[in-house]
Amino acid sequence: MTEITCQLVVIGGGPGGYVCAIRAGQLGLDTVLVERGKLGGSCLNVGCIPSKAMIHVAEEFEKLTEAANGKTPFGLTAAQPALDFKQAIAWKDGIVQRLNNGVAALLRKAKVKIVQGHARFQDGKTIVVETETGSKTIKAETVVIATGSAPVELPSLPFGGRVISSTGALSLSEVPKSLVVVGGGYIGLELGTAFAKLGSKVSVVEAQDNTLPLYDSELTAQIARRLAALGIEVLTGAKALGPTAQGDGLRVEAADGQERSLAADKILVTVGRAPVMANLGLEQLVLDMDGRFIRIGQHCETSMRGIYAIGDVTGEPMLAHRAMAQGEMVAEIAAGLPRAWDKRCIPAICFTDPEIVSAGLSPDEAREAGITIKVGQFPFAANGRAMTRHGEAGYVRIVARADNQQVIGIQAVGQGVSELSAAFGLAIEMGAVLQDIAGTIHAHPTLGEAIQEAAFKALGHAIHV
């Protein structure tokens, strides 16, 4: 059995894990990264990146279809479009492969040793990795658990055959004629909307009273209208019972208690994600847990000295950029630098149509925290860039404290607003007040002007509305 000794070992090569390893290598730590699958984890390989690629394909196909049907307001027409779905999948896979190669190159540049295989704890300082060429024992001063998460399977709808996870949806060989999405969160709506644009008859089954239940109703109302316009049937307060007897659809208990069947070539189950910790040997450790997640402190430290946990195994929000920030921080802590985790602003984005961005506190969350607030909202219907390119639906909303004008939250809904998320996060992290944003010159014509205008509105002197 080969034995490796190092200063830092990272278990899991997803966004949090590989960022942690790269930063540790940059800081001169002797670092080993263990990954059993492809570098980049779920986000790069079967999540964030491939789903955005398919969303883009769907958007482009929809534009061509509208042009062919004479539905563009500016006179553009085109022949009836055709989609080579296999080529689209190949294009998506090519992007993923290029990014895989890029991550590997960055790890090599940082002098990180990559061990391919499944890791299992022997004790708090030792892990054993089963590789294709045999077992390797790794002894490290510091261990980082970054094993990520996987789609949750419903007992009544186990994955297989017609029942697929988000991973399966991104590797289909053809567009299904009918698709039922079980779970109306951001993953289900992103993929459901994309397939509806590609030609699928899509239905969404959500157990709660609203889709996107983690976002406030003002933001999600725009999404609901768009889903209806795309012909997507949404059943809220409904329960998925299981496949039909013929296996050609899904049995559903509707909100009124009546049972009905929905035709489905494919049933996409997107009811959440669970941390990946099976067969990791955690029984050899004494870790405090927070439900099914590993409990961590402000430095991402666990209850055992020298063991850290980052990303999805530590709970919500399960976002790649949260894991990356944690990974970079833990690497610096391992190198002896003073760092602590500040989670005041982790932007959340739904790449639906239109997109939603939420950073910091919403108005309702601020009021629930007992904060007296000012709210400024500016519609894209009054923004020149939105009107000439992105579409007029949506707005930017700023939430600020009434006592000192400090910005504590910014939200937006609209076409292309995901690209505004960095500005939202920066304003909140830097402790900006309304006057800071209002006094910053915003380029014209851009969507970003809506941020300044929302600040004007909160201050009581809106210019363009």
What pLDDT, on a 0 to 100 scale, did the predictor assign at position 390? 63
Residues 6+ apart with CB under 8 A from 203: 178, 179, 180, 181, 232, 233, 234, 235, 262, 264
Q: What is the mean pLDDT of residues 434-460?
A: 97
Residues 324 and 301 in one domain: yes
Among residues 284, 311, 334, which one ends one of the domains?
A: 334
In 3-state terms, what secondary structure has residue 47?
Answer: coil
Q: Which domain holds residue 6?
A: 2-46+89-149+274-334
375 and 429 both lie in a single domain: yes
Q: Is residue 436 part of a domain?
A: yes
> Is 68 within the bounds of a domain?
no
- Residues 145, 10 share a domain: yes
User: Is residue 67 one of the residues assigned to a domain?
Assistant: no
Query: What CA–CA distance (Å, rounded) separates 376 from 368?
Result: 18
Give the catalytic positions in this structure: 444
Burial class from Cβ neighbours inside 10 Å (0-12, 13-18, 19+) for residue 290 reads exposed
Cα(56)–Cα(352) distance, rounded to whole angstroms? 11
Q: Do 357 and 409 belong to one domain? A: yes
CATH number of the domain enclosing 377: 3.30.390.30
Same domain, 192 and 325: no
Domain end residue (candidates: 287, 303, 334): 334
Enter the pTM of the model.
0.95
Structure tokens at 413: 């809904």
Give CA–CA dist 188/165, Å, rounded.
Answer: 10
In a domain, 330, yes or no: yes
Those residues whose C-beta lies under 8 Å from the C-beta of residue 279, and which sit 6 or more positions away, are 118, 120
Q: Is residue 353 part of a domain?
A: yes
Q: Is residue 20 part of a domain?
A: yes
Bridge partners (DSSP) of residue 69 are none
Do residue 263 and residue 191 come from a single domain?
yes
Mean pLDDT for the stretch of residues 108-113: 98
CB-side exposure of 11: number of CA atoms within 13 Å?
A: 30
**418/445 same-domain check:** yes
Q: How far apart are CA 171 and CA 89, in angstroms?
A: 7
Per-residue pLDDT tens over the stretch 52-101:
999 999 999 999 999 999 988 888 999 999 999 999 999 999 999 999 99
Residues 145 and 281 in one domain: yes
Identify whether residues 296 and 362 lie together within a single domain: no
Q: Would residue 119 count as lying in a domain?
A: yes
Q: Are residues 143 and 24 in the same domain?
A: yes
pLDDT band, residue 343 (cuts 50/70/90): confident
**Which range has the worst mean pLDDT, 22-36, 161-175, 363-377, 384-398?**
384-398
pLDDT of 134-188, one tens digit each? 999 999 999 999 999 999 999 999 999 999 999 999 999 999 999 999 999 999 9
**What one-character-per-residue DSSP string does 173-213 give?**
SS--SEEEEE--SHHHHHHHHHHHHHT-EEEEEESSSSSST
Do 94 and 223 have their domain in common? no
In a domain, 231, yes or no: yes
Total structural domains in the chain? 3
Cβ atoms of 420 and 453 closer than 8 Å: no
Helix (H) or strand (E) run with residue 107 in it: helix 85-109
- Domain of residue 230, CATH code: 3.50.50.60
